[in-house]
Amino acid sequence: MTDSEPNENDLTALVHDAKQVVTVEDDGSLGIYEDAAIAVVDGDVARIGATGPVTREFPPENATHVVDASGKAVIPGFVDPHTHALFAGDRSDEFEAKLQGKTYGEILSDGGGILRTVRAVRKASDEELLSNLLSHLDTMLAHGTTTVEVKSGYGLDTETELRMLDVIARADDHHAVDVVPTFMGAHAIPEGRDADDYVDEVVEKQIPAVVEQGVAEFCDVFCEEGVFTVPQSRRVLKTGEEQGLTPKVHAEELAHIGGSQLAANLGATSADHLLYATDDDIAALTDAGVVPVLLPGTAFGLGAEFADARAFLDAGAPVAIATDFNPNCHSQSMGFASSLACVEMGMTPAEALVAGTKHAAMALDIGDGTGTLQPGTPADIAVIDAPSYVHVPYNFGVNTVETVLKNGEVVHHE
């Protein structure tokens, strides 16, 4: 045995007798193994194949974790590449208001929306914020998510933005789910502030402090009509990039103002929302290698038109999906996002699975094979209590996840 060969004595986990094991190949297609097993050594996938040969090579008695997946499908753990999961307060009354005909703009003018959450976050203690985030991560994990991006952006001042990022880092240390931190000081214009004046603060004070803190990996901005213009967004993102923060862009969510072209010009890791992206935008993003992150739950919650996933797919773009979990889009379920992607955005179940795993990891610039379950990659696994991965979007509104493994460790079981 060479040093590079997996050693059965280091067997972290064995998942056996699965009706179906699904991997994502380099070209984005699915690899489907019937009546199969996965052996995990030192947290990585070591072998996938028919249960008999795999269990002979890796005896179950040598495994720390043994999962009987008889009759079940095994898929990569979901990667949720766009959330605002750290917040305080309750905005369920705004859901009722929208159902009664109020627009989001009217809710904002009444003191609701993002700025209401900002007030709640500023008042909350760090321990309250951490408890809230850990609770949300528990729910995400139970729905099969093993990696998640979490943004700041409900502080809108240097102190609170740093507090949020510190809490995100603490949650990553305390929870099985991998948490990827994004700085989003340019999420909204604070009450009583001028947009240009606030952008000065983000660029001159917040970004240097965030970089010194050393938590955030990305810098995001809400490039949107009535929020931050393309020039303002460019200034924020360029400043962040010059100081080591990789750019992301909220683009074309409520109107078309040019955020997609900005993302393409900057070579951003992702452009997100894209409900009003044009064919030219799609071509520019695809040519620039920007991952389009589509958020069907947001359109669902707003009663808006859905993004045109098929146009992106036909252009050859690596479409990702995410929950956009936040007080205005209150769903932590990548399974539900997959259902919406299929029913409302024209994606196939296979495309939705790839979008919520491999392509979602690309949107976070994760280069270790997360979201693929290929040999040699992290063993982040969701066991579905159904015979096929198709049941994830097919069972809309129902959580089909039974067991979750993170790096081969069982971290959730129903």
Is 143 marked as binding a ligand?
no
- Cβ-based burial of 290 (10 A; exposed 0-12, middle 13-18, buried ≥19): buried
Is 359 marked as binding a ligand?
no
Is 253 marked as binding a ligand?
yes
- Cβ-based burial of 398 (10 A; exposed 0-12, middle 13-18, buried ≥19): middle
The number of CA neighbours under 13 Å toward the Cβ of 376 is 6
Helix, strand, or coil (residue 68): strand
CB 373 within 8 A of CB 23: yes
In 3D, which of 295, 292, 243 has the Cα closest to residue 268? 292
Length of the chain in terms of residues written = 414
Token readout for 350 is 């296979």
Is 324 marked as binding a ligand?
yes
φ/ψ region of 353 (left if φ > 0, alpha if ψ in -120 to 50, else beta) reads: alpha
Is 394 marked as binding a ligand?
no
Is 395 marked as binding a ligand?
no
**DSSP character string of 186-199:** ETSPPTT--HHHHH
299 to 76, 82, 296, 356, 364: CA distances (angstroms): 26, 14, 5, 17, 22
CB 148 within 8 A of CB 80: yes
What is the dihedral sign for C-alpha 30, 372, 294, 322?
positive
Is 16 marked as binding a ligand?
no
Separation between Cα atoms, residue 409 and residue 296, nearest integer Å: 31
Is 413 marked as binding a ligand?
no
CB 336 within 8 A of CB 325: no
Is 104 marked as binding a ligand?
no
CB 247 within 8 A of CB 218: yes
Binding residues for 4-imidazolone-5-propanoate: 91, 154, 187, 253
Binding residues for Zn(2+): 82, 84, 250, 324
Binding residues for N-formimidoyl-L-glutamate: 154, 326
Binding residues for Fe(3+): 82, 84, 250, 324
Binding residues: 82, 84, 91, 154, 187, 250, 253, 324, 326
